[in-house]
């Protein structure tokens, strides 16, 4: 089931979203200050490529002061808009029965894209 979900996800916009995260990550990695944020874009982008069958969890013991500061900066520099976009797509997809699995993936992406520092994908 995960394979079919991932294939449909890629066909209906997942690959384009992956490319957008990769381009954003490359642009952020141009500056030294943007490298941590670019790496988070890469993390979210690879999760966006194949989200079915994968989960996001908090990294125990690594959410310190620096992760909190980076998450606050991330939220103000665009993380809130990315999360709201995934929330909107998730709500639209949840209207139909067929779209519910895709809505769940957008909700997972929303939680990761709102505060990506201190989280891992498994």
Statement: residue 1 has pLDDT above 90? no
Encode pLDDT of 35-72 as tens digits. 999 999 999 999 999 999 999 998 877 667 888 899 99
Strands (E), 13-87: 56-58
**For the chain, which residues make up each domain, given as ranges?**
2-121
Statement: residue 3 has pLDDT above 90? yes
In 3D space, the residue among 57, 17, 76 whose CA is nearest the CA of residue 41 turns out to be 17
Residues 57, 114: Cα–Cα separation, whole Å: 13
Encode pLDDT of 64-114 as tens digits. 788 889 999 999 988 999 999 999 999 999 999 999 999 999 999 999 999
Selected residue with higher pLDDT from 60 and 26: 26
pLDDT at 62: 64
């Amino acid at each position: 089931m995960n394979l079919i979900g991932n294939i449909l996800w890629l066909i209906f916009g997942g690959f384009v979203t992956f490319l957008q995260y990769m381009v954003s990550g490359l642009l952020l990695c141009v500056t030294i200050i943007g490298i941590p944020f670019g790496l988070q874009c890469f993390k979210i982008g690879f999760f966006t490529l194949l989200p079915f069958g994968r989960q996001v969890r908090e990294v125990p013991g690594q959410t310190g002061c620096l992760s909190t500061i980076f998450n606050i900066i991330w939220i103000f520099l665009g993380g809130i808009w990315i999360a709201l976009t995934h929330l909107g797509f998730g709500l639209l997809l949840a209207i139909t029965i067929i779209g519910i699995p895709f809505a769940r993936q957008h909700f997972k992406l929303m939680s990761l894209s709102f505060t990506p520092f201190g989280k891992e994908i498994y």
